[in-house]
Amino acid sequence: MSGREPGGILVVKADAPWQSMSDLIDATKEDPGAFGLTPNTGATTYLVGALLNNTGAGFNFVDVGGSADRLAAVLGGNVDVSQNPLGQVKPYFDNRELRGLGSLSEARTAALPDAPTIAEQGYDVAFQYSYFYLFPKGTAQEVGDQVFDPTA
């Protein structure tokens, strides 16, 4: 069985001045290096940061650690922008502490249908993990189906 994760999302504090990816990228172009983004050196988040900078953005990469550390850094105002798993930041959207500027998924996700992708905002940036599960031969289909059903 295989599937895709719903994707990460670029987040800023809810009171940040940027309302869209173009607002943010334009700001980084006007003042290159002034805005901190949280990629992990050598990780997929670094790839995403490089893809963003390849669009002409001028982010300053600040490696603060794993996803929990990236979340703490943006909530604490230590960085301007973080990329985090959707499930991790959704509660902060709900309580209006964070705002999502663009999903890293290739298409809008059912988990957050109102969040536009970065690609649909005009930037060639997307990254989603594909994954698969292997089961012993003869495993009942229902077992595999439960792995992909978050309500099970």
* pLDDT(152) > 50: no
Q: Using alpha carbons, select from 7, 17, 128, 126 the residue that is nearest to residue 81.
A: 17
Q: Quote the pTM value.
A: 0.81
- What is the pLDDT at residue 5? 66
User: Which of 9-24 are b and which e, b meaning 16 or more Cβ less than 10 Å from the residue's Cβ?
Assistant: bbbbbeebebeebeeb
Mean pLDDT along residues 5-23: 91
Mean of pLDDT values over 51-72: 95
Q: Compute the distance between CA of residue 4 and CA of residue 75 in angstroms, rounded to an integer.
A: 27
Q: What is the pLDDT of residues 121-144, one digit of tens each?
A: 999 998 876 667 788 888 888 887
Please tell me the predicted confidence (pLDDT) of residue 115: 86
Residue 64 has pLDDT above 90, yes or no: yes
Q: With the CA atoms of 29, 33, 34 and 37 taken in that order, what torsion angle do they form, in degrees rounded to the nearest 10?
A: 100
pLDDT at 135: 82
| Angle formed at CA 111 by CA 108 and CA 114, multiple of 5 degrees | 50
29-59: b or e for each residue (b if 16 or more CB lie within 10 Å)?
Answer: eeeeeebbbbbbeeeebbebbebbbeeebbb
Residues 85-113: what's their mean pLDDT?
Answer: 90
